[in-house]
Structure 1
Amino acid sequence: MGEGRMSRNLTSACWLSLISCVVVIIAFSTPAWVENDGMLPNPKFIRSGLWEVCLEYFEDPEFEYDRKFLGCYWIFNEELHFISDVIHPPFLTATQTFFTFSFVVTIFMSVGVIMFNFFCPPDREILALRIIGSGFIGAGVCGTIAVIIFGALGDSRDFMPHWEHNYLSWSFAFAVVAVILEIIAGTMFLVEMRRFMKRLSTSSGGPDPSSTAQVLR
């Protein structure tokens, strides 16, 4: 993209996409999707994210094992296999899967936005906008599925003990914001693509690179 050729809509889409990238990284990497409210004197569960869980003298609810867990653990830590059915239920696996896809696609599309602005030739702009817009919307859809699953089950009675004292926390809020930004940014990129196509179709010069540059100034 040449200097001075970006519309206000496209500029906004680029900024929203990069902000969504930062927000989704925070949501993906922080361990506060669900937390204990601190009202219990001795809570066994402190907080959990997608990849880390923090416990305080947590023990097997079925009392089959005597070991108690204290501290924060990677959720796939082998030491936790005694209680894996409690801390890593199927719905969390589904959330991890969908949100990981959203995370990876957002990272790649954000790199694509940077490359589009600095390296994309005029005759590839429409294709680039289509890929970037579709990618962000796809990431947003997968992220939406993830937050719906976790929002429905993350603080339910079937997940962690004392469920009535657990609440969806700030990392989850970041995930919700991220998917909203992804969908908005993706839609704006596709709108811009349609504008590019309309301008080219009404241009007497046709869709060659030189006429594209003339139309978009």
Structure 2
Amino acid sequence: MVAKNEYPKAANAVVYGGILLYIAGMCLMISFCSPYWIQSFEETFSDFKHMGLWQYCFHDFRYPYYQFNHLFDGCHYIFSQEYYVIREWLLPGWLIFVQAFVTMAFILSFAAQGLIALIITRYPLEFVLRYEWLLIGMSFIGSIVSAVFLSLAVIIFGFSCYRRDWIMYPNFNYVSWSFYFAVISMFFHYFSAFALYNETKRSYERRRESKNLVMQMHPEPQSRASYY
């Protein structure tokens, strides 16, 4: 019986691609959860402080079109009751697309990381050895699609965050570190996808060569029809 550690280990390209994908996922998680996609300059003493994909922070902010002149203060979840009356203003259509793209990238990235973990740990062993090229290919797809979604998200946000029909006085604000973590994550997803794509091709070629070798060693017998 062959010991488990005598089976072929995962290729270096898979390991390096997995490390890059892990870094990309960590950057994406920070960007996804932190409320600093855009921030106001401290010198402006703006009522708006900062925001993320899921949270806005104000200090005694009065929305001019809200008839009750309620003051919004502190940090709150964008779908909380506190922001119910101004949610349509806080959540324009383009920002919904940004949220959707980043969320889909988040899901696909961590799904790809799970597949890479199975490949590297060789668990379950028989399944991984049989379908390794397919698992690497699926990881590549998850990584490259995540990169594309993040590209769309940062482009849309970068071109729309200074719109005057969104946060008032846009010249008082600047894109902050949560946004840049999304950009960094995007690049690491592309780097990871490149490594995984090359290894997918090599793994598929090895599988095809192995299959051809087996067929040459054990040729199928001729059918009776062809014999006669």
TM-score scaled to structure 1, two decimals?
0.87
CA contact (8 A) 2:33 2:53 kept: yes
Aligned to 1:100: 103
Once residues 206 and 172 of structure 1 are traced to their aligned partners in structure 2, the CA distance between those partners, rounded to angstroms, is 52
Aligned 1:1-217 pairs, distance under 5 A: 5-41=9-45, 43-118=46-121, 119=123, 121-202=128-209, 205-206=213-214
Identify which range, 73-82 or 49-58, moves more after superposition. Answer: 73-82
Once residues 206 and 62 of structure 1 are traced to their aligned partners in structure 2, the CA distance between those partners, rounded to angstroms, is 75
Once residues 111 and 61 of structure 2 are traced to their aligned partners in structure 1, the CA distance between those partners, rounded to angstroms, is 39
Once residues 188 and 64 of structure 2 are traced to their aligned partners in structure 1, the CA distance between those partners, rounded to angstroms, is 39
Q: Report the alpha carbon displacement of residue 12 of structure 1 after superposing the two structures with TM.
A: 1.3
Once residues 66 and 9 of structure 2 are traced to their aligned partners in structure 1, the CA distance between those partners, rounded to angstroms, is 66
Q: Report the alpha carbon displacement of residue 4 of structure 1 after superposing the two structures with TM.
A: 6.7
CA contact (8 A) 2:115 2:136 kept: no
Once residues 183 and 158 of structure 1 are traced to their aligned partners in structure 2, the CA distance between those partners, rounded to angstroms, is 33
Alignment-mate amino acid for residue 213 of structure 2: G
Alignment-mate amino acid for residue 77 of structure 1: S
CA contact (8 A) 1:34 1:166 kept: yes
Q: Whose Rg is larger? A: 2
Q: Report the alpha carbon displacement of residue 108 of structure 1 after superposing the two structures with TM.
A: 1.3
Q: Report the alpha carbon displacement of residue 96 of structure 1 after superposing the two structures with TM.
A: 0.6
Q: Report the alpha carbon displacement of residue 202 of structure 1 after superposing the two structures with TM.
A: 4.4
CA contact (8 A) 2:18 2:192 kept: yes
Q: Report the alpha carbon displacement of residue 49 of structure 1 after superposing the two structures with TM.
A: 0.1
SS in 2 for 1:32: coil
Q: Report the alpha carbon displacement of residue 198 of structure 1 after superposing the two structures with TM.
A: 2.6
Once residues 206 and 185 of structure 1 are traced to their aligned partners in structure 2, the CA distance between those partners, rounded to angstroms, is 33
CA contact (8 A) 1:132 1:189 kept: yes
Aligned to 2:221: none
TM-align CA RMSD? 2.0
Q: Deviations over 1:166-207 (max 9, x none)?
A: 111000000111122112212211110111223344456359
Alignment-mate amino acid for residue 32 of structure 1: Y
Unaligned runs of 5+ in 2: 216-228
SS in 2 for 1:205: helix
Q: Report the alpha carbon displacement of residue 146 of structure 1 after superposing the two structures with TM.
A: 1.1
SS in 1 for 2:43: coil
Once residues 83 and 63 of structure 1 are traced to their aligned partners in structure 2, the CA distance between those partners, rounded to angstroms, is 8
Identify which range, 60-69 or 16-25, moves more after superposition. Answer: 60-69
What is the percent sequence identity of the aligned residues?
25
Once residues 87 and 101 of structure 2 are traced to their aligned partners in structure 1, the CA distance between those partners, rounded to angstroms, is 20
Once residues 159 and 40 of structure 1 are traced to their aligned partners in structure 2, the CA distance between those partners, rounded to angstroms, is 18
Once residues 140 and 37 of structure 2 are traced to their aligned partners in structure 1, the CA distance between those partners, rounded to angstroms, is 28
Aligned to 2:222: none
Alignment-mate amino acid for residue 25 of structure 2: C
Alignment-mate amino acid for residue 171 of structure 1: S
CA contact (8 A) 2:14 2:116 kept: no
